[in-house]
Amino acid sequence: MTATAARFVHQISRPDGFPTAGDFAFVEETVPAPAPGQALVENVHLSVDPYMRELMDGGWDLHTPLEGRSIGRVTVSRAPGLAEGDLVFHRKGWRTHALVTPDEVRVLPDHRGVPARSYLGVLGGTGLTAYVALTRTARLKPGESVFVSAAAGGVGSAAGQFARLLGAGRVVGSAGSPAKVRRLTEEWGFDAAFDYHDGPVGDLLAKAAPDGIDVYLDNVGGDHLEGAIQGLREFGRIAWIGAIAQYHSARPPAAPRNLFDIVEKSLRLEGVLVRNHRDAQRELEDFLVPHLQAGRVVDVQTVVQGFDNVVDAFLGMLGGANSGKMIVEVGAERL
């Protein structure tokens, strides 16, 4: 066995505001042949996610291979439990090849009609975030009204569909363009949606949900959080997933002006970190796979072709160029 030529993406500088392509570099290196207990994986799908923007400010070391969710095919194995041809989920993304050990990967099940890349979308961390936000954090009850911000993104588009399946009475979403708003209501089952550029979020939400909301899934922060607090009924719940509004700013936005209404309305706000809920993965799959196979859920994805475009895909995702989950396809699932 010989070393394998591979390509990697390194972060080479810290961004000042919105990242640029100049903050990254493509590097060619070799990956050694697997040692006993290791397997060589050729990546076929790479995930780019909003959380990575925060890692760029210090969570990632410069001039080293970056972390990221990935799906790859085992090409050479010297590890028990990993066979050549297996499709595996792992976290050595931003590269074409990786050495892995059995404890670093999950061999993916083969569900009829469900592509492996769904394990980076609705069956992966994206869908798991939406699922636990609704079922564990917000504890959605049948008949309740739900508002989802950044609803045309990966987590948001999953959350709206899941909320409907879980019995929500009304599902409202916000998005950043008229085209995305149309897709929310015409394709993904939202009852109402609005473009947040059209006015104050609180006013737009009041029109979309005139009777108020019970649950808010926050992917944005800032004015969306303020507007949701305004629209929440007494004893409402906020599952705070992300804060797109402040990712690129050195100075976080001011706290919502109506923050004390959390007390006045007896609201509950809780953060959602998917790594705290890995035990729900099987529960998510048992819930979701039949709906995917029956066509009741759409795994909304924007797929960019080619390893050369992984940085562009990441920057595009941060700028809202995607509908649903942004995935970079660098190989074929099946040979």
Domain extent, residue 147, equals: 125-275
The confidence score (pLDDT) of residue 252 equals 64
The confidence score (pLDDT) of residue 150 equals 95
Count of structural domains within the chain = 2
Q: Over the chain (335 residues), what is each successive 10-residue block's mean pLDDT?
A: 92 95 97 97 96 94 96 97 96 97 96 94 96 98 97 96 97 97 96 97 98 97 95 98 69 80 97 94 96 94 97 96 95 77
Q: Which string of DSSP letters, residue by residue, matches 239-285?
A: EE---GGGTT-SSPPPPPTTTTHHHHTT-EEEE--GGGGGGGHHHHH
Q: What is the pTM assigned to this prediction?
A: 0.91
Burial of 279 (0-12, 13-18, 19+ CB in 10 A): exposed
Residue 202 lies inside a defined structural domain of this protein = yes
CA nearest to 217, candidates 277, 286, 145: 145
7 bridge partner residues: 28
The confidence score (pLDDT) of residue 246 equals 63
CATH number at residue 147: 3.40.50.720
Residue 335: C-alpha distances to residues 7, 75, 155 (Å): 21, 11, 30
Residue 214 lies inside a defined structural domain of this protein = yes
CATH number at residue 47: 3.90.180.10
Are 136 and 271 contained in the same domain?
A: yes
The confidence score (pLDDT) of residue 242 equals 86
Contacts 24+ apart (CB under 8 A), 199-208: 200/227, 201/174, 201/226, 201/227, 201/228, 202/226, 202/227, 202/230, 202/231, 203/227, 204/174, 205/147, 205/172, 205/174, 205/230, 205/231, 206/230, 206/231, 208/172
